[in-house]
Amino acid sequence: MNHWLMKSEPDVYSIDDLERDGSTSWEGIRNYKARNNMRAMKKGDRVLFYHSNASPPGIVGIAEVVKEAYPDHFAFDPKHHYFDEKSDPEKPRWDMVDIAFVEKLPRMVSLPEVKLTPELGAMELVTTARLSVQAVKKSEWDRIVAMAAEPDAGE
């Protein structure tokens, strides 16, 4: 099993929305590295759900990949926000995956906390901050899940 992190702005699609919906397609990714990460995802892989553009941003829950990469059909719809005129249905440029809600973390692990944790210094969240779909090493995953179970350092 591989581990990943996916970012969403909470006012666009939050962990609460995923919990309510049960599952969702993760569409609209228009970055090649993020797309390639989604293409590498396998059913059963675990995902850290990250709230970006929040104050503070942070990791708030866990999801699971329930459907592997398939063409992002929004890229072919000229009326849709995610339309890409260069994407061809015969050779799609963009993909999406489906994820399902697993759980909310006991508490959010904030980006400032992640940055202050030496074991997480090489994490893509720190080194490639703007990437919306990132690989997460097993050791990073384990540390974040452990941090979420601990009391907030600020308390």
Superfamily of domain 3-143: ph1033 like domains (3.10.590.10)
The residue type at 33: K
The predicted pLDDT at position 16 comes to: 98
pTM of the model: 0.92
Give the confidence band of 93 by pLDDT, cuts at 50, 70, 90.
Answer: confident
The predicted pLDDT at position 154 comes to: 54
Q: Where are the domains of the chain?
A: 3-143
CA separation for the pair 97, 80 (Å, rounded): 18
The predicted model gives 6-35 an average pLDDT of 95
The predicted pLDDT at position 153 comes to: 59
CA separation for the pair 92, 72 (Å, rounded): 8
The predicted pLDDT at position 114 comes to: 97
The predicted pLDDT at position 130 comes to: 84
Give the confidence band of 88 by pLDDT, cuts at 50, 70, 90.
Answer: confident
Report cis status (omega within 30 of 0) of the bond before 56.
Answer: yes
